Every structure is written in C-alpha cells, then in structure tokens.
Structure 1
C-alpha cells in the first residue's frame, strides 16, 4: 500500500493549522536581508506594551454613565402635602430626608422645601387661630363689661 500523505507536499495545511505565528510569537527571520536600525519586518506582530488591554470585539471601551437613583417618593409627598396638610408635610419631609441619607436617592431639596413650607404654614395657621381666639375673647369681654343684656 502507498502512504496517503505521499504526493501531497504542495497542498495547503488543513483548517485550523495556521502557518502564521500567533500573537506574541516571533516570526522567523526574513531571508531577504536585515532591517535597518532594529525595525521590525513588515507584517510582523510585536508584543503590546505592559498594561495594554485590547477590548474584545462587540464591547465598548467606555461604559455609559451609571443609572441615577430615582427621586424619593416621600420627598414629593412632603412638598405637595405642605400646602394642604402642613403637619403631614413636616412628618414626610423628616422621614424622606432620613431615607435619602441612607439610600442615596435624589430629592433632598424637595424634602427640605416640604419641611420649610410645612413649618411656615403651620406657624401661619397657629397665628391665625391665636388671633381668632384673642378676637373673640376681647369681643365677648367687651360685651360682658358693657352691661348690655338682651333678654
């Protein structure tokens, strides 16, 4: 029998058998002469500098900004309820600021504004109630002192 490899010396190598040097390996020296001043022959690959990392295909070298955490819901509730129910604005504002410090969410300005508005509107309501009470006490005292009785 004859050898199956005999007479096939001029054929190309089988798939997967590469005659080119792989990345980082030195190619055999060219037979046509030396390169001047230590230059690499054309087409010869060199090793990358230390610390160089080549990105694989399909990946971007820089990532987008990380997603920002959302706004705290209680901060939004605090600023809205400060106009209608100031006590609820104060309570929600304090709870929201505590949650924002712990979780890193956004909305600290909203919570602080809800707190300030809640305290201001609460002070205005308390002042109105005090003025109302004083007005009627003075009115009833004046009517009582006048001696005018309606029977």
Structure 2
C-alpha cells in the first residue's frame, strides 16, 4: 500500500504470486499541498504528477516595519509616542484633581434653613478657613451667611413683635 492509497482509504492491493509488480489503483495521484521541496510548476518526488499545479509556499509578506529596539524583559512596552511632552512634569494647567469643598461651607448653607443663627456663624468660620486653605465653597459659605443673616434678622423681628404684642395685651384693663 502506498502513502497516497492510505490517505484515500483505498484497500491494500494484494500482492500477486507470479512475481509481477503490484497493481496500482486507477486513481490519479494526490496534488502536492506545499510539501517541503514542492514548487508551483509541479510536484516532484512522488508528491504529484509533473505539470499538475502545486500550491507551494505561501507568499512572503516581508518583515514588519521596525519600531526601535524592544524593551528589556519586565518593562512595559507602551508609553507616549515621541514628541508628546516630557514625562514627569504633570498635566498642563487647568487639569488635575479638583480642590475639595469646605465641609463647613456646605453645613452653613444647610443650617441657614434649619437653624439660621448657626448657619450664619458656620458661614463666617467657613470663609475664614477657605481663605487659609484655598478650598472651594466660598459661594456656599457666602450664601449661608446671607440666608442665615436674613433669617436670623426676621426671627429676631418676629420675636420682638410677639413680645411687644403680648406686653400690650397684658396692660389692657378689661374692667368696665
């Protein structure tokens, strides 16, 4: 049995006893599929019939363009392309982490609606801290001062009006 017959699943030819050569099946030989040493014009050395087209080696694509020396083992192979800034100097101005908002500034605005004198005091303390630390929230503290001041003034006026109203009712004589 030949190699081609084994691939085709053909039965093993029976040897004859008369000394004659074994009989080959009537199948044409298999074409060469890029076997070592084959050419595109035809197969050689029992890999197909001459003149029958073989598939040969795949076309070469050449080498990839060079991107410089690869980095040593253990270093990352990525980074900014050349000409995109010098590493180590940080982002340009305007970028980066935002400054935190002062907590007392937030509390001053909330407390201005809940208990206005506390909102007024917290707003004043928050603005003083913001000037020293450079945090955000100056507008919140200012709003807490304004709303807390107005609400405190209204509460004081309401208390005085109530006190004067009760005092005037107490001095009224109901006797005929």
Q: Shorter-normalised TM-score: what interval? A: 0.5 to 0.7
Equivalences for residues 120-135 of structure 1 within 5 A: 120-135=150-165
Give the Cα–Cα distance (whole angstroms) in 2 for the partners of residues 134 and 63 of structure 1.
Answer: 64
Give the Cα–Cα distance (whole angstroms) in 2 for the partners of residues 58 and 72 of structure 1.
Answer: 37
Aligned equivalent of 1:138: 168
Choose 1 or 2 for highest CA Rg: 2
Q: Please give the root-mean-square deviation of Cα atoms over the aligned residues, in Å.
A: 1.8
Structure 1 counterpart SS, 2:122: helix
Aligned equivalent of 1:22: none
Structure 2 residues without counterparts, runs of 5 or longer: 1-77
What is the TM-score with the length of structure 2 in the denominator? 0.47
Equivalences for residues 1-151 of structure 1 within 5 A: 58-59=79-80, 60-61=84-85, 63=91, 65-142=95-172, 144=173, 146-147=174-175
- How much has 1:129 moved relative to structure 2? 0.6
Give the Cα–Cα distance (whole angstroms) in 2 for the partners of residues 63 and 128 of structure 1.
Answer: 55
- How much has 1:139 moved relative to structure 2? 1.1
- How much has 1:63 moved relative to structure 2? 2.1
Give the Cα–Cα distance (whole angstroms) in 1 for the partners of residues 165 and 121 of structure 2.
Answer: 31
Count of aligned positions:
90
Give the Cα–Cα distance (whole angstroms) in 2 for the partners of residues 69 and 147 of structure 1.
Answer: 70
Bigger helix fraction: 1
Give the Cα–Cα distance (whole angstroms) in 2 for the partners of residues 108 and 84 of structure 1.
Answer: 20
Q: Any runs of at least 4 consecutive aligned residues in structure 1 with deviations exceeding 4 A, and if so which?
A: none
- How much has 1:136 moved relative to structure 2? 1.0
Greater relative CO, 1 or 2 (CA 8 Å, sep 6+):
1
